[in-house]
């Protein structure tokens, strides 16, 4: 299959490209390098022995994108490209809406012009906002994100639903990720955020690298066993495999619009993750408890039955693997 991957040099995109190439798919990457590095292309080549075709373009520039479609005959598209920092999105909502929504609209228009009608979209569990109960299943109320970044995911999901309602020859698969962490076992690719991170694992790594003194755990007075928040951490390689399952499923006899959670189905507390990191890698991360972070959901984990039953997808990696692989990437990174 010939697949366009937007944002293919980013954290989840690059791992997905590796899995696709390993299975013999042809991949073309577009990425504007705003939150990724061109060296990732060399790393992908090192891991897979294949160098995918790459275009450095911004999805906001429709003419550039149109050229990519003109030069390639795609079977399908996986769309990762987008801005994703929650805090920044609150400060710069217009930039987030413009970038994520206009970029997606341009992509969909180019797809329609070229009659490429299969898309896997990178959504997020943040569309559920504060869930009524856990595990969260795909039919739970969505459109509930608590910040502009999350709302761009809600709006794009709605755009895809409306497009499908108007023309059911489209095939859309929406994947709602829980909390991706970990890195490729080679240590060559992983999460490498620009600036000071605010997600948990990148911050743990920063402390382990000695760039920050202590991790602050936001709140230990939640109604959970150890008082810290609970999340569904999923290894990025499992997540990448989920995309392969999704794209192969949609190109067999299973067209239509589908929505799947991608998580492990298991909740792990913030404190458990930090303790596991220290157990697996040596006591590298000092921490202290601080106030709750406004907007944090106390408990969030996925119901995974739908992805398992329909896509045959199940996670293989453990929390220990996630901690080990994250640190392995981080300590080798230049």
Q: Which residues bind ligand UD1 (CB under 6 A)?
A: 86, 124, 126, 146, 150, 179, 198-200, 203, 215-218, 229, 231, 270, 293, 295-296
Query: Parallel, antiparallel, or unpaired: how do β-strands 230-231 and 268-269 relate?
Result: antiparallel
Between 110 and 201, name the residue whose CB sits nearer to ligand UD1.
201
Q: How far is the CB of 20 from ligand UD1 (least distance, A)?
A: 22
| Among 119, 107, 124, 42, residue whose Cα is nearest residue 77 | 119
Q: At what angle do helices 148-166 and 103-114 cross, to 10 degrees?
A: 20
Q: How far is the CB of 40 from ligand UD1 (least distance, A)?
A: 19
Q: What is the DSSP letter of 216?
A: E
Between 9 and 250, name the residue whose CB sits nearer to ligand UD1.
9
Q: How far is the CB of 101 from ligand UD1 (least distance, A)?
A: 16
CA 114 to chain centre: 26
Between 293 and 331, name the residue whose CB sits nearer to ligand UD1.
293
State the distance between the two ends of the chain, measured CA to CA, in whole angstroms: 34
Between 46 and 292, name the residue whose CB sits nearer to ligand UD1.
292
Q: Indicate which residue of 55, 96, 128, 149 is catalytic.
A: 149
Q: What is the largest CA-CA distance in the chain?
A: 56
Q: How far is the CB of 305 from ligand UD1 (least distance, A)?
A: 22
Q: Which two tokens stand for residue 214?
A: 């202590």
CA distance 238 to 226: 27
C-beta separation of 107 from 100 below 8 A: no
Three-class DSSP category at 333: coil
Q: Which two tokens stand for residue 319?
A: 């929390």
User: Is 222 one of the catalytic residues?
Assistant: no
Three-class DSSP category at 111: helix
Q: What is the DSSP string of 160-192?
A: HHHHHHH-TT-EEEEEEE-EEE---TTSSS---
Between 74 and 178, name the residue whose CB sits nearer to ligand UD1.
178
Q: What is the DSSP letter of 105?
A: H
Q: How far is the CB of 203 from ligand UD1 (least distance, A)?
A: 4
Residues involved in catalysis:
149
């Amino acid at each position: 299959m010939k697949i366009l991957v937007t944002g293919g040099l980013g954290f989840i995109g690059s791992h997905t490209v590796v899995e696709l190439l390993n299975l013999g798919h042809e991949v073309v990457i577009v990425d504007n390098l705003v939150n990724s590095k061109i060296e990732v292309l060399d790393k992908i080549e090192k891991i897979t022995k294949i160098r995918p075709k790459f275009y450095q373009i911004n999805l906001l520039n429709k003419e550039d994108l149109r050229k990519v479609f003109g030069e390639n005959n795609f079977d399908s598209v996986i769309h990762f490209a987008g801005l994703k920092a929650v805090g920044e999105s609150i400060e710069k909502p217009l930039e987030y809406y413009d970038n994520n929504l206009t970029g997606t609209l341009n992509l969909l228009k180019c797809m329609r012009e070229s009659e490429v009608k299969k898309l896997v979209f990178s959504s997020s569990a943040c569309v559920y906002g504060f869930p009524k109960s856990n595990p969260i299943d795909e039919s739970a109320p969505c459109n509930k994100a608590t910040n502009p970044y999350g709302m761009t995911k809600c709006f794009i999901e709605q755009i895809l639903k409306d497009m499908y309602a108007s023309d059911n020859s489209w095939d859309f698969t929406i994947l709602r990720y829980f909390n991706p962490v970990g890195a490729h076992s080679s240590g060559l690719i992983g999460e490498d955020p620009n600036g000071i991170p605010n997600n948990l694992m990148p911050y743990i790594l920063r402390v382990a690298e000695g760039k920050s003194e202590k991790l602050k755990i936001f709140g230990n007075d939640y109604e959970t066993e150890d008082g810290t928040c609970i999340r569904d951490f999923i290894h990025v390689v499992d997540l990448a495999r989920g995309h392969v399952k999704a794209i192969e499923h949609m190109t067999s006899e299973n067209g239509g619009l589908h929505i799947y959670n991608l998580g492990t189905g298991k909740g792990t507390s913030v404190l458990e993750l930090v303790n596991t990191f220290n157990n697996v890698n040596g006591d590298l991360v000092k921490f202290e408890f601080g106030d709750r972070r406004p907007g944090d959901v106390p408990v969030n984990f996925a119901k995974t039955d739908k992805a398992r039953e329909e896509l045959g997808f199940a996670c293989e990696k453990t929390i220990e693997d996630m901690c080990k692989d994250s640190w392995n990437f981080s300590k080798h990174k230049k």
